Amino acid sequence: MPSSSPRAKKQIEDGRIRTLLLWYRRHGRDLPWRRTRDPYAICVSEIMLQQTQVARVIPFYESWMKRFPSWESLANANTPELIRAWSGLGYNRRALYLREAAKTVCERGVPHTEEGWRALKGIGPYAAAAIHTFVAQEPAAAIDTNVRRVIGRLVLRKPFPTQQDDHAVRRALQAIFHRKQDWKALHAIMDLGAMVCQARKPNCLECPLREQCVSAKRFLTSSVVRPKTAIVQERIHEGKRFPDRIYRGRILRLLQTASSYSIRRIGNMIDDSYDDTQDREWILRMIDRMQRDGLIEMKRERIQLPIQK
């Protein structure tokens, strides 16, 4: 790599961004939320994309936007409607947080800054930066796993960057995005991470940034040692096949088919191996958490979707 005068550095970053944007024009993903600048639509897509794959989100996003096309329609939706529309996407609390955010926007107006988005319920630092970038068309350092991985490899010589590298990733992104119109490069970096610079095995031979990437040589000569990945811990009850998340989803789906269910019956209906002596405490704790999350209500030993907003 050439050296390090500020001018040389800027030339390197300019070269990277030009290459990225050229590649994006030819290969970038055409996603429905990229065809709009509507802050509401972009916010919905970013919340749905948290913890859910793009291909899975697309049909939910499209039907959600028909059902709740605006902040106002969402702010006025009741909980059973929301849970029905979100059902199948997982992590159902996101739907309730999104409605809280919509109520705040209806009261106070659409945020104009990254901090303003960050102040809304359920919107973390990554989503706030991404929404601001795509709505205002101004670059912000939105660091998701794809962005972290691409920038870590491309600039920082970190083949498998972690969250601990985010400070350095942010600085590197800020160096890359030095003009307002560079905001599009965020889409390009996300797509490169999803399609080329993948987690397990980056396809450096096909990568447009191969010549400008400080890690390419190591991957191409197979001299990279992959660290043991930490296993993401989900709550799994002893003796159960799936995490609680799956059983919570089953409970919510059942409640869409009847007005209410007896707690005594629900265990057998969501789990073939349910044993009332062994598993009753587990079900009761799960129901208690779902009540606290606002997803269900309990009345006289029966559970139902919440009636009130």
Catalytic machinery residues: 46
The answer to whether 153 contacts ligand SF4 (rule: CB under 6 A) is yes
CA distance 72 to 232: 37
Instruction: For residue 22, give both structure tokens.
Output: 């050229």
The answer to whether 152 contacts ligand SF4 (rule: CB under 6 A) is no
Q: Smallest gap, in angstroms, from Cβ of residue 152 to ligand SF4?
A: 9
Task: Pick the piece of the chain touching ligand SF4 (CB under 6 A) from 2-10, 161-169, 212-220, 250-258.
Answer: 212-220
CA distance 120 to 305: 25
Q: Smallest gap, in angstroms, from Cβ of residue 177 to ligand SF4?
A: 17
The answer to whether 266 contacts ligand SF4 (rule: CB under 6 A) is no
The answer to whether 189 contacts ligand SF4 (rule: CB under 6 A) is no
CA distance 186 to 49: 15
Q: Smallest gap, in angstroms, from Cβ of residue 29 to ligand SF4?
A: 17
The answer to whether 19 contacts ligand SF4 (rule: CB under 6 A) is no
Binning the chain into helix, strand and coil, the percentages to the nearest 5 are 60, 5, 40
The answer to whether 185 contacts ligand SF4 (rule: CB under 6 A) is no
Among 65, 74, 216, 255, binds ligand SF4 (CB under 6 A): 216
Q: By C-alpha distance, which of 260, 229, 234 is closest to 245? A: 234
CA distance 303 to 262: 6
Task: Pick the piece of the chain touching ligand SF4 (CB under 6 A) from 105-113, 114-122, 131-139, 147-155.
Answer: 147-155
Q: Which residues pair with 219 in a beta bridge?
A: none
The answer to whether 209 contacts ligand SF4 (rule: CB under 6 A) is yes
Question: 162: which DSSP letter?
Answer: -
Q: Which is nearer to ligand SF4, 203 or 268 (CB)?
A: 203
The answer to whether 210 contacts ligand SF4 (rule: CB under 6 A) is yes
Task: Pick the piece of the chain touching ligand SF4 (CB under 6 A) from 92-100, 121-129, 213-221, 257-265.
Answer: 213-221
Q: Which is nearer to ligand SF4, 45 or 215 (CB)?
A: 215
| Residues with Cβ within 8 Å of residue 59, at least 6 apart in sequence | none
Instruction: For residue 297, give both structure tokens.
Output: 């209500």
Collapsed DSSP state (helix, strand, coil) of residue 301:
coil
**H helices of 196-243, where?**
216-220
Q: Which is nearer to ligand SF4, 213 or 270 (CB)?
A: 213
The answer to whether 161 contacts ligand SF4 (rule: CB under 6 A) is no
b/e map 263-299, b = 16+ CB within 10 Å: eeebbeebbeebeeeebeebbeebbeebeeebbbbee
The answer to whether 213 contacts ligand SF4 (rule: CB under 6 A) is yes
Task: Pick the piece of the chain touching ligand SF4 (CB under 6 A) from 112-120, 177-185, 210-218, 229-237.
Answer: 210-218
CA distance 129 to 138: 10
Q: Which is nearer to ligand SF4, 209 or 266 (CB)?
A: 209
Per-residue CA distances from 275 to 70, 251, 278, 280 (Å): 45, 17, 5, 8
The answer to whether 23 contacts ligand SF4 (rule: CB under 6 A) is no
Task: Pick the piece of the chain touching ligand SF4 (CB under 6 A) from 14-22, 71-79, 161-169, 199-207.
Answer: 199-207
The answer to whether 207 contacts ligand SF4 (rule: CB under 6 A) is yes
Question: Which residues are at the interface with ligand SF4 (CB under 6 A)?
Answer: 150, 153-154, 196-197, 202-204, 207, 209-210, 213, 215-216, 219
